[in-house]
Amino acid sequence: MTAIAEAVERAEVGFLRDAVPGAVLDAYEFRGDTRIVVAREQIVEVLTALRDSEEFQYNFFSECFGADYLDVDTGGTILGKPHRFEVTYNLLSLHDPATGTGKNTRIFIKVGAPEDDPVVPTVVSVYRGAEFPEREIYDMFGVRFSGHPDLRRILMSDDWVGHPQRKDYPLGGEKVEFPGGKLGPSVEDRVVQHAGESFSGKTASDI
Amino acid sequence: MSAIDTRELNTAALAEKGVAIDVVDDGTMILNMGPQHPSTHGVLRLVLELDGETIIRATPHMGYVHTGIEKEGEYQTYMKAVTITDRMDYVSAHINNLAYTLSVEKLLDVVIPPRGQYLRVVLSEIQRIASHMVWLGTHALDIGAMTVFFFAFREREKLLDLTEMMSGVRMMPSWIVPGGLRGDTPEGWLERCKQIMDELPYRIDEYETLVDQNPIWRERTQGVGVLAVDECMQLGVSGPTLRGSGVKHDIRKSEPYSSFDQFSFEIPVGKYGDVYDRFQVRMSEMRQSREIVKQAIERMPDGPINVDDRKIVPPPRHELDSSMEAVIHHFKLWTEGFHPPVGEAYVPVESPKGELGFNIISDGSNYPWRMHQRPPSFMNLQALSRMCEGRLIADTVAMIGSIDIVLGEIDR
């Protein structure tokens, strides 16, 4: 990933610097795609600006997804990420030849969320379609979305304990050997066990 | 359907015994539909709040076939992870493989030779027709036209036979892999494919006549489940469901991949955005896919199908007997795999359900750090409760069928 020089950067970066002052923290390009890291407090304003701008018309909410950058060995983050969690919003300026709207471009907006305060403002008010993906991120990573109308688990059962896509959440019940003689985490290593599995017989309310 | 007389229930007495009764006193009724309902296309559960037969609110519940595929992907090398992408949208495995492969190839920055690209086009369009055949059969079955189901599945079986002839497997081929394909066409494959494509238009017309000429079909689908364009865009609804509302948008045209820009085909669109329009769009799409396959077979280039890089593609079997380097490459590739550079990639493809793409985050190791699928069915499902509100309960099955969901993709 290379940080892009001012001369070649996408117009969206400059636009956001003007439209939402202080929001753009970083921008980088990789294989032709631009990813802009913005301050999480200002994500609603950033997405509203991109959606309503005449120049870009990001009218289609493609999706949003989470990622966990925890380095399991050190407890820090990998790749020099400032925060453990990251939510990426994938926006498309969908070109409709019938009405002439949309520029047929795609942009990725990212926000970071620290481990001790994994809260991101919801963007459901900007794009209704964020409802399910945000619920999935909450379910899988435990990142909460403040102001979300219906923030429940979506794929795991309601009484499940823990967030399965976190890097410190074990894949299975037994230690698995990985290259380099490293052992993967196992269920027994966990302080809190899964309520949904029968080995402990506990439910979410017991723990 | 009459509401329960809630005056008969002594809630206070029950509450003392620890039984909580949530009394809805406005005469509505909660109906649980699924997860074992035959028309929910897998294990979707809908909680419907009804006033008589009118739906006031529909809440989808999913996750019944959640198997943690995205988590599993982080524990497979890039080459091995192809096989689990088959299981996501299990009626269009080739297209899932293609979406995953294109993202990995973007990370690796490789472009495969023309013949490989054309073969990928042929396979993905065959798969699109097969997937639409499943949709046609089950959608018609839900609405009550049983005959179409058998015909559509007969046709689909012929297309799956082509996949089997090539890869040995009907549904989970994993044939499209990073760096190319696992193998070239077997002898007689292209001729067989051409023969099936030649008779396909008659079949599609025949099946369309079975339902389209039927006044009951039109009554059940026209004006039902209307989706407005801006609603679709806000919700992230894509694919034939979006095109049914009249938006001429197809990833194959707008962000061409795998040399789709070299083929001429139309993007069918609807006008009213109802169940009937989405039906028409998918029927036309099958004809367009057949055109693409015919063009690809006619213009099929000769040459290699894989990139010429032994760090990505394993050496051919015959070289293993004579070349030490080939043995080393073979061993390294199947045990350790390749290491893409640090970065992120997302390449959208047009799946039968909509925009499908894999977000792959690489930390420079031989395992993907994060593998996330953008599931078109998952996003399209958000439109279902919008469509249902204010409609009759009998229309629900028509609306579920019209957005063509696959629960394997929603739950992953």
Average pLDDT over residues B208-231: 86
- Partner-chain residue, chosen from B66, B345, B363, that has the shortest CB–CB distance to A155: B66
Residue (of B310, B274, B286, B295) closest to B391 by Cα position: B274
Statement: residue B382 has pLDDT above 70: yes
Q: Dihedral sign, CA of B248, B250, B253, B254? A: positive
pLDDT tens digits along B62-88: 888 888 888 888 888 898 889 999 888
B293 three-class SS: helix
A191 touches chain B (CB under 8 A): no
**Mean of the per-residue pLDDT values for chain B?**
86
User: Domain B69-411 belongs to what topology?
Assistant: Cytochrome-c3 Hydrogenase; chain B (1.10.645)
CA distance A191 to A118: 20
Contact call for residues B382 and B64 (beta carbons, < 8 A): no
Residue (of B136, B150, B303) closest to B212 by Cα position: B136
CA distance B391 to B48: 11
- Partner-chain residue, chosen from B66, B231, B246, that has the shortest CB–CB distance to A156: B66
C-alpha dihedral (B386, B387, B389, B393), degrees to nearest 10: -140
Please enumerate in sequence order all residues whose Cβ is within 8 A of that of B322, keeping only pairs 6 or more positions apart, or say none: none
CA distance B61 to B47: 8
Q: Which is higher by pLDDT, A75 or B74?
A: B74
CA distance B28 to A64: 35
Statement: residue A85 has pLDDT above 60: yes
Please enumerate in sequence order all residues whose Cβ is within 8 A of that of A121, keeping only pairs 6 or more positions apart, or say none: A40, A41, A43, A44, A145, A146, A147
DSSP string, B217-235: HHHHHTTSS---HHHHHHH
- pLDDT band per the 50, 70, 90 thresholds, residue B211: confident
SS3 content of chain A, % helix, strand, coil (to 5): 20, 30, 50
Residues of B in Cβ contact (< 8 Å) with A155: 62-63, 66, 411-412
The pairing of strands B29-33 and A182-183 is: unpaired
Asked if A67 lies within 8 A of B342 by C-beta distance, the reply is: no
Contact call for residues B124 and B95 (beta carbons, < 8 A): yes
- What burial letters (b/e) apply to B76-96, b meaning 16+ CB within 10 Å? bbbbebbebbbbbbbbbbbbb
- Partner-chain residue, chosen from A1, A176, A184, that has the shortest CB–CB distance to B343: A1
pLDDT tens digits along B275-296: 999 999 999 999 999 999 999 9
Q: Dihedral sign, CA of B195, B212, B393, B390? A: positive
From the CA of B238, how many Å to the nearest CA of chain A?
Answer: 9
CA distance B42 to B33: 12
For A13-17, A172-176, B37-41, B48-52, which range has the lowest pLDDT when averaged over its residues?
A172-176
Closest A-chain CA to B363:
A79
Residues of A in Cβ contact (< 8 Å) with B345: 30-31, 33
Asked if A30 lies within 8 A of B345 by C-beta distance, the reply is: yes
β-bridge partners, A96: A101
Give me the residues of A, 106-165, that contact B with CB < 8 A.
106, 108, 127-129, 131-133, 136, 140, 153-157, 164-165
Contact call for residues B159 and B309 (beta carbons, < 8 A): no
Q: Which residue has the tokens 């669109």?
A: B269
* HSE value, Cβ hemisphere, 13 Å, CA-based, for A72: 12
Residues of chain A with CATH 3.30.460.80: 2-155
Residues of B in Cβ contact (< 8 Å) with A136: 378
- pLDDT band per the 50, 70, 90 thresholds, residue A34: confident
Average pLDDT over residues A78-96: 88
| pTM given for the model | 0.86
| pLDDT number for residue A33 | 86
Average pLDDT over residues B148-153: 90
CA distance B116 to B119: 5
Statement: residue B16 has pLDDT above 70: no
Residues of A in Cβ contact (< 8 Å) with B233: 59-61, 94
- Partner-chain residue, chosen from B62, B343, B374, that has the shortest CB–CB distance to A63: B374
From the CA of B337, how many Å to the nearest CA of chain A?
Answer: 12
| pLDDT number for residue B22 | 60
Q: Where along chain B do its domains lie?
A: 6-61, 69-411
The two most distant CA atoms of chain A are separated, in Å, by 60
Query: Domain A2-155 carries which CATH code?
Result: 3.30.460.80
Residues of B in Cβ contact (< 8 Å) with A65: 359, 372, 374
- pLDDT band per the 50, 70, 90 thresholds, residue A202: very low
Asked if B379 lies within 8 A of A129 by C-beta distance, the reply is: yes
Number of A–B residue contacts, CB under 8 Å = 110
| pLDDT number for residue A157 | 80
> What Å distances lie between residue B45 and B3, B31, B61, CA to CA?
22, 10, 5
Which of B344, B373, B374, B386 is best to mutate for the A interface (most A CBs within 10 A)?
B344
- ipTM of model over 0.95: no
